[in-house]
A and B are shown apart, each in its own frame.
Chain A
Amino acid sequence: MPFRTLLSRAVVVAAFVVMTVAALPRPANAQDGLQPLLQIYAEELAQPSRRTFGAVADALLADGPPGMVNFLRRFAAREVVQRPEDGLFFYAQDAGDLVRLIDVDTGDAVAEVSSRAVDQIRANSGVRRVIAAALVPFELNAPDRARREAALDAISRSADASQIAPLAASIAQEPDPDLQARKERLLLLLTAQFGADRPARLEAIAALGGDTSIEARSVLNQLTATRAEVASILPDDANIARVLTVGMDLTQAEAYAALVDAGLAEPAQTPSELRDVLAANIVEGRVGGVPIGRLSDPAARIAAYEALEQSGAVPPRAAPDEAARAVAAHVFYDRYILDDAEITTAAQDALDSTAQAIATYQMADLVLDGLSLASIFFLAAIGLAITFGVMGVINMAHGEFIMMGAYTGYVVQLFIPDYTVSLLVALPLAFLVTFGAGVAMERTVIRHLYTRPLETLLATFGISIALQQLAKNIFGTQARPLTAPDWLGGALQFNDIVGISTIRVAIFVLALIFLGVLLYILKRTRLGLEVRAVTQNPGMAASMGINPDRINMLTFGLGSGIAGIAGVAIGLYAQVTSEMGASYIVQSFMTVVVGGVGNVWGTLAGASLIGFLQKGIEWFNPSNTLAAQTFMVLFVILFIQFRPKGIVALKGRAAGD
């Protein structure tokens, strides 16, 4: 949760608390407000001392009005002044040259006076610690849950050694199990960070090992923070994290720069500095006796500089091998900022075990990512698995059917404002639209080209460009939004590392449904039987009373219709543009080919392989998805070399050829 939100909630809660508490009956002295109570301890407040102030703060907080906590905070922050005339306390606020006095009870500005007319109360650090210690338990044990929570928030925001004891004391009294767990955890963090008791601290640090939360990791990272240092010999007393090897851990240039920074070496002269020095010493077309014309040669430049050096015109220049010798004479190491070797070792061990846990979670996250990408590829390719895989038609316009489906979803949203309803309407409608488009295309173009796959490729490619242009003419070139309903907007977060957005889960589920429906249609229905019959042997199928024309038309329509539904799903998380289909078409073909033509399971295998592979390669270099895609395509090319028929190759007569 962002810090700002937390803060505003804390403020709201605090205001609420103040209002409710103020309504309660109060003891007589408290009803008069803070000022009378403060006056009782005026002397101690005016001259606060570390030794005595604890008792005063406790007494003030014990039966003070709710504003007392706030007062003490501002007191510690040196915002309280005393007016010498009447001894009253005020909050001070800067108002230009003057100080604005604010009543501690009402919060109204009382007067503006010169800063010399009031005494600022200077609470020293000892007093401030006393106040902080006094305040935290007050808040931690507050009757109101929200206030306790706010106190815990405050501790986790600015952790401090003084909070350990009150926090530990408050755990036993905590009625709320959630908060109690949180307090225990916070105590663990605080102990690991500041604990004075060494065994307890080591134990706390060890307990943080394997904890993948950001707070635990930042505590451990703080403990193991290092500073790069350099010395002529490795110091014995320093808490060394590791010794750096020049050439392996840092380059020669970096090492020399570190030496220069540490004041152990002179900055080396760069070529451009050399040039500038030479340029400043040109005398009658010569530098140190060397004609300018020859200075395009680096050796001549050095000779010229040395001549200048001998004449005393320029300071001596470091010999070229001096840098190397200086680096070799020194040792470079990382030193723990914390000197306590036992603590840093324990923290490092804990961090190492955390790293293992993180690696495990990251692997889980990678698997989720891969699964989600695989399901997107599967969705995009599943329609193609029918038209290309089962029928053998290369439909380059397949991507445009995806685009059509997405635009159908967009148009439906224009008419139905409720996103859930519109999505439910859009899915079947997209199927119908693209089914119609597919049937029309099959009837007019593809029917004539069944024996000519390569010509089909060109014809459908032409159609795909035409459809793209059509979409551009109708919807314009800018991206159109296809908004997901709210219940698809969130994310499924397992912990700080593993998480997946709900929309991707939905796409995964949709892919599974598609797989099931398609398998059912192909394997269990009359249509599926006829489709398989026609694709295996059209002539024989026709003689058995099946109408191949009708079956081809329906099959192509089914594949196109599924592409339309996939388009709605893809449009939900990507932008709907006229070119969105084109970006999927090559991947889709690769998916089908890698998986093995003529088999829905093959498409699933191909999509999984490509999806996981791409995420896996991305993992090595997360910033460069393009490189991952490049390597993925190269892998696919190599893969087809070794399994030209794909992962799930058809055997026997069905394989054709």
Chain B
Amino acid sequence: MAKTTLAPRKGFLSENPSVLRFLGLLALFTVIVSALAEGFGAGVISTSFLKVLGMTLCLCLIAVAMDVVWGYCGILSLGHFAFFGLGGYAIGMWLMYARTEGIVRESLANAPIPATETEIRDAIASQIFSVVGSTELPFIWGFAHSLTLQLLLIVLVPGLLALVFGWLAFRSRVTGVYLSILTQAMTLALSLYLFQNDTGLRGNNGLSGLQNIPGLLHLPQATVALWFFWASALALGLGYLLFAWLVSGKFGSVIRAIRDNESRVRFLGYHVESYKLLVFTLTAMVSGIAGALYYPQAGIINPAEVAPITSIGCMARSSARPVSACCQAGSPAAARRTSTWAFTRSSGRIGGWCCSALASWRSRCSSRKALAACSTTL
């Protein structure tokens, strides 16, 4: 500690060359994929596979977030995929509203008398909610007409939920396994809430048609997919940079110390709860962003995506590697491996599950070499 305060501090990037390496690799990957993509005419990578790659980058982003919250801070949260889903719902509401508005305006344009704003709103509401037998726009859709507000909600809603939940949980010192089960219960409550038809998010049907971006309907999907891929890569790069910077300094040391021995850190005078709350909320916001980029590429979101089992599954997919690796090796390598890991999502399912089980088991009983071997066989 004393050494770092006395010595003249070098730049963050020069201190952490691995960050540059990761960003360089990411950029290289993006450029290569873009060049091969259909949107640029090469057509080696089909649009649907490009979307899978973009979605994988989003999963990588949430994996990095999970890495920080679990690997660095020791909070095994099973709730981050709920935040992921909330981000998806937030952007999905705007996508669906704006697109329906376009359709409604077009169909009303031929009416003899121009429609009033109320009529347009009513028509949109009945279009969106006829599947759940309602014709009124629920109040939570109050901001859906505005892209700016809805973009804010992508980070605000998960952030607020994480803040309240985290404050409650950390304040009463729920830790370890109990916290995991508590976050799982939160995810369950959220998915049960979303499953209801009368809560205003179309219940079981979820939000669909999200791949059609209002205002970009004249563009082919190949181009839109490419843009989303770039956006995902950019978000991953920035998210990685943010977290790498966050964990590199004193803050990172404190949260690592919390992971290793919470009581001692508390006795040293740190306010453990605030640190945990900050990490939890920040990662929740990043998860929301990841979700908001993921679901327009997936095209549909429904409550099953938020269900606890799916969440653990996604978590197992996306973070078994960074966790087992980063606890010992440090994050840059972990995040890079995360990308390979998240790939297994699109590959064979049951194999992936077995490997996830195997990986976390092997990481315990033997060395990391077994793990590396495991990853290469994937």
Bind each other: yes
Q: Which residues of A contact B (CB under 8 A)?
A: 271, 275, 278-279, 282, 287, 292-293, 295-298, 301, 392, 394, 396, 445, 448-449, 452-455, 457-463, 465-466, 469, 582, 585-586, 589-590, 593, 624, 626-627, 629-630, 633-634, 636-638, 640-642, 644
A462 adjacent to B357 (CB under 8 Å): yes
Q: CB-CB < 8 A to A279: which residues of B? A: 111-113
B353: chain A residues at CB < 8 Å are 462, 465-466, 469
- Residues in A with CB closer than 8 Å to B180 are 394, 454, 457
Q: Which B residue sits closest to A280, measured CB to CB?
A: B112
For A636, list chain B residues within 8 Å (CB): 185
Beyond contacts A454-B76, A461-B313, A637-B189: 20 other A-B pairs, Cβ-Cβ < 8 A, are A271-B116, A271-B118, A292-B112, A295-B114, A296-B114, A298-B118, A448-B361, A461-B356, A462-B353, A462-B356, A462-B358, A462-B360, A469-B349, A589-B181, A589-B184, A590-B181, A633-B185, A637-B182, A637-B186, A640-B172
Q: Give complex CA distance A282, B111 in Å.
A: 12
B window 159-189: CB within 8 A of A: 165, 168-169, 171-174, 176-178, 180-182, 184-186, 188-189
Contact partner, A275, options B113, B184, B324, B349, Cβ 8 Å: B113
Q: Are A644 and B174 in contact (CB under 8 A)?
A: yes
Q: Which residues of A contact B193 (CB under 8 A)?
A: 626, 630
Residues of B near any A CB (own CB < 8 A): 70, 76, 111-119, 165, 168-169, 171-174, 176-178, 180-182, 184-186, 188-189, 192-193, 195-196, 198, 308-309, 312-313, 316, 320, 324, 349-350, 353-358, 360-361, 363-365
Q: Residue of A at shortest CB range from B78?
A: A457
Return chain A residues, CB-CB under 8 Å to B189.
630, 633-634, 637
Decide: A457 near B113, CB < 8 A? Known: A590-B185, A627-B196. no
Distance, CA A311 to CA B313, complexed state (A): 71
Instruction: Tell me which of B176, B192, B309 contacts A633 (CB under 8 A).
Output: B192
Total A-B pairs, Cβ < 8 A: 142
- Residue contact B364 to A640, C-beta cutoff 8 Å: no
CB–CB B114/A293 < 8 A: yes
Closest 3 CB pairs of A and B: A462-B357, A633-B189, A296-B114
Which of B174, B176, B185, B360 is in CB contact (< 8 Å) with A458? B360
Q: Least Cβ distance of B33 to chain A in Å?
A: 30
Jot down 9 A-B pairs with beta carbons below 8 A, ordered by A: A279-B111, A292-B114, A394-B177, A458-B357, A461-B356, A465-B350, A586-B184, A624-B196, A637-B182
Q: Are A466 and B172 in contact (CB under 8 A)?
A: no
Knowing A296-B117, A630-B193, A640-B178 touch, does A461 contact B357 (C-beta < 8 A)? yes
Q: A593-B181, A641-B168 are in contact. Are A582 and B309 (CB under 8 A)?
A: yes
Complex Cα spacing A640 to B196, Å: 25
Residue of B nearest to A399 (CB): B309
Query: B172 and A642: CB pair below 8 A?
Result: yes
Q: Which B residues are in CB contact (< 8 Å) with A637? A: 165, 168, 182, 185-186, 189
Known: A458-B316, A459-B360, A633-B185. A271 touches B119 (CB 8 A): yes
Known: A455-B360, A590-B185, A638-B168. A466 touches B174 (CB 8 A): no
Determine whether the beta carbon of A466 is less than 8 Å from that of B357.
yes
Taking the closest CB of chain B, its distance from the CB of A246, in whole angstroms, is 22
A455 to B363, CA, bound (A): 9
Known contacts A626-B196, A634-B189; decide if A453 and B176 are in contact (CB<8 Å).
Answer: yes
The answer to whether A463 and B309 have CB atoms under 8 Å apart is: no
- CB of B320 within 8 A of CB of A458, answer yes
Q: Would B364 and A297 count as touching, CB distance under 8 A? A: no
Rounded to whole angstroms, the CA-CA distance of A183 and B72 in the bound complex is 80
Complex Cα–Cα for A624 and B353 (A)? 35
Q: Which residue of B lies closest to A453 (CB)?
A: B177
* A461: B residues at CB distance < 8 A: 312-313, 316, 356-357
With a cutoff of 8 Å between Cβ atoms, the chain B residues found around residue A453 in the complex are 176-177
CB distance from B49 to the nearest CB of A (A): 25
**Whole-angstrom CA separation of A455 from B196 in the bound complex:** 33
Rounded to whole angstroms, the CA-CA distance of A292 and B116 in the bound complex is: 12
Complexed CA–CA distance, A461 and B319 (Å): 13
CA distance in complex: A134, B184 (Å) = 73
Taking a contact as CB atoms closer than 8 A, the residue among A282, A297, A457, A466 that contacts B112 in the complex is: A282
- Give, as a whole number of angstroms, the nearest-CB distance from B268 to chain A: 20
- Find chain A residues with CB under 8 A from B182 CB: 593, 637, 640
B350 A466 Cβ-Cβ under 8 A: yes
| Selected contact of B354 from candidates A448, A457, A466, A593, CB within 8 Å | A466
CB distance from B210 to the nearest CB of A (A): 24
Q: Are A462 and B316 in contact (CB under 8 A)?
A: yes
A582, A586, A626, A640: the one within 8 Å of B195 (CB): A626
A477 CA / B284 CA spacing, docked (Å): 35
CB distance from A586 to the nearest CB of B (A): 5
Chain A residues contacting B320 (CB-CB under 8 Å) are: 458
Which residues of chain A are within 8 angstroms of B118 by Cβ–Cβ distance? 271, 298
Q: How far is the CB of B164 from chain A (nearest CB, A)?
A: 11
* Chain B residues with CB under 8 A of A445: 357, 361
Taking the closest CB of chain A, its distance from the CB of B241, in whole angstroms, is 27
Least Cβ distance of B303 to chain A in Å?
10
Task: With A448-B365, A586-B308, A637-B185 as known contacts, state yes or no: A593 contacts B178, CB within 8 Å.
Answer: yes
CB neighbours of A448 from chain B (8 A): 361, 364-365
CB distance from A502 to the nearest CB of B (A): 30
Write out the residue numbers on chain B whose beta carbons fall within 8 Å of the beta carbon of A292: 112-114
Contacts of A394 in B (CB 8 A): 177, 180
**With contact pairs A275-B113, A644-B172 given, residues A455 and B313 touching in the complex (Cβ less than 8 Å):** no
Q: B113, A295: Cβ atoms under 8 Å?
A: yes
